[in-house]
A and B are shown apart, each in its own frame.
Chain A
């Protein structure tokens, strides 16, 4: 199975900060990586797919980069609505699909 390791696990930040979350894969997944945002009690929301393609309707302050085994999600200027947990997910292998352990962005 392809393992995904996110860092940090928790991130303390303030409104307006630039925030970067890293996701490392245990093997080359090219650009088959997605990022999701999840708020408490809600389903995850797709933010980015193919490592850097912004899903329709997602604010431009979110961006993704990387290829191979190292990826980043960047929020250029943190907004109050962005305090949430973020997950990366690989889909290079569908059996199984795997997620990172999550990064909680808190005040």
Chain B
């Protein structure tokens, strides 16, 4: 079945970077883009950006420009999201989702905790 499986929880210190993975299966990876969305504790959903697996083109949320990078590895059907210069405000669950214009398949989420 179509699924996205994300990497495990991370604990990082302020100022560090984190790189999360999202492995796709059950469909042709190149045929769909990947979104990244995060959710701070008790808060709503925040769109972080999007990558076209086919072209590598990216769009990032304005507030994350310069700190976020998204990439894919088509040989392993895996998408990656790296976030740099972490602060406590980046503590959240990070989700990847398949782009069918809407978010039709989601990963299980990765908890990232930023704490000194």
Contact = CB atoms under 8 A, between A and B. Distances in A.
Interface residues of A, number: 21
Interface in A50-101: 55, 87, 89, 91, 94-101
Q: How large is the interface on B (under 10, 10 to 19, 20 to 34, 35 or more residues)?
A: 10 to 19
Contacts, number: 49
Interface of A: 34, 36, 38, 43-46, 49, 55, 87, 89, 91, 94-102
Contact of A49 (B61, B97, B102): B102
Interface of B: 35, 44-47, 50, 59, 61-62, 95, 97, 101-104, 106-109
A94 B103 contact: no
A102 B42 CA distance: 11
A36 B61 contact: no
The 8 A-B pairs of least Cβ separation, nearest first, read: A43-B106, A97-B47, A34-B102, A99-B45, A49-B102, A102-B44, A101-B44, A46-B104
Contacts of B108: 43
A74 to B, nearest CB: 19
Contact of A46 (B44, B50, B102): B102
Contact of B47 (A49, A55, A98): A98
A95 B44 contact: no
